[in-house]
Amino acid sequence: MTIKRMPLPDGPNEEWRELRRKHVTASILGALPAFHCHDYRTPLRIYMEKRGLEIPERETKVMRSGRIFESSVSKAVAEERPEWHLEQVGAYYFDEDTRTGATPDYFIFGDPRGRGVLQAKTVDREKYEVDWLNGTLAPRWIELQVRLETMMTGAHFGAIAALTIERYDPKLGLIDVPRDAAAEEEIKEAIRSFWHDVEVGNEPDPIFGDDSEIIKRLTDKESAGAVLDARGHNDLPELLAQRAALKARMRKDDERCVEIDDEIRFRMGTAEKIVGLKGWSVTYRTRHVAGYTVEPRTGRQLDIRDHRPPEERPT
């Protein structure tokens, strides 16, 4: 590897974004088909991004929380490990030959093993207890992220700090990630294999549900007169029947919800709220909703209609 270092820009920078788009970065490593363990990215999304499909990056609540509370993680680590000196990295490390990059959060100084890297994460209490085993084991995609960051920076070890964001009782999990030659070779091979698949057009299978946005983008235009011959897809009738049954159940559920809402409204009459209900808050007040105009748009719409005999339809 021939590692280069690029200081992070102070604000939005298209050159930096374009550079990252050409690389497999540590934060998405776990989404590669060889690992397929990322909480927020799928193999198909990463593949299509690297093939040039523009997918807008929207900041989620989880991302915003991590950005805002990152400094709190470092403060918690300083209390837990006072012998460590943390220094923000503030740079992007990349290798153009392997098309790989990483942006660690902090360097660790003052450890007898030498310089380390720290990846700071914020999590809610439930994830901390279940996915992180009370701060003793990191999800694999984050472990992979730190392993690549240690490789790219030449650090002697890595660490992951997970802080629960709570008002009075934040918990800190500090997990060591030592260098591991076998694990690092696995990462290198996964990246090589991924770029080979991108170059030859070996597209990974979608994850239906998670890849909805990607599938809509890939099928956003129809070919006039083109048809799909269902004789080669024996599972389609079963899928459509299952969909029809689910839709029928949803209609019944919606109808029952309307009945319950009507009964509650009738019982309340002119009352604006219900009191004395343990565990429930019910109000029935007048609200003003501003009008708005929806801009016209054009796009493909999936339309499924059930033409089976009545006896074959769900009731």
Closest CA to 41 of 54, 27, 51: 27
Q: Are strands 157-164 and 172-178 parallel, antiparallel or unpaired?
A: antiparallel
For the stretch 205-248, pLDDT in tens is 999 999 998 999 888 888 889 998 898 898 999 999 999 999 99
- 172-209 pLDDT, tens digit per residue, is 999 999 999 999 999 999 999 999 999 999 999 999 99
Q: Is domain 3-214 in CATH 3.90.320.10, yes or no?
A: yes
Residue with tokens 């970065």: 25
First-residue to last-residue Cα distance in the chain: 63
The whole-angstrom separation of Cα 234 and Cα 224 is 25
Alpha-carbon distance of 147 to 141, in angstroms, equals 10
State pLDDT tens for residues 21-60: 899 999 999 999 999 999 999 999 999 999 988 877 776 6
- Tokens 């820009």: give the residue: 9
Q: 12 or 96: whose pLDDT is higher?
A: 96
- The pLDDT of residue 63: 65
Which one-letter amino acid corresponds to residue 188? Answer: K
pLDDT at position 5: 93
pLDDT for the residue 14: 80
Least confident of 79-88, 149-158, 293-302: 293-302
Q: How crowded is residue 150: how many other Cβ atoms within 10 Å of its Cβ?
A: 25
Spans of all domains in the chain:
3-214, 239-268
Distance of CA 16 to the CA centre of its chain: 22
In angstroms, what is the C-alpha Rg of the chain? 26
Indicate the residue type of 290: A
**Per-position DSSP letters for the chain, written without gaps between them:** --EEEEEPPSS--HHHHHHHHTSEEGGGGGGSTTT---SS--HHHHHHHHTT-----PPPHHHHHHHHHHHHHHHHHHHH-TT-EEEE--EEEEETTTTEEE--SEEEES-TT--EEEEEEEE-HHHHHHTSTTTTS--HHHHHHHHHHHHHHT-SEEEEEEEE--SS---EEEEEEE--HHHHHHHHHHHHHHHHHHHHT-PPPP-TTTTHHHHHHHTSSPPTT----GGG-TTHHHHHHHHHHHHHHHHHHHHHHHHHHHHHHHHHTT-SEE-S-TT--EE----------PPP-----------S-GGGS--
Say yes or no to pLDDT of 304 above 60.
no
**Over pLDDT 90: what percentage of the chain?**
64
| Predicted pLDDT of residue 71 | 77
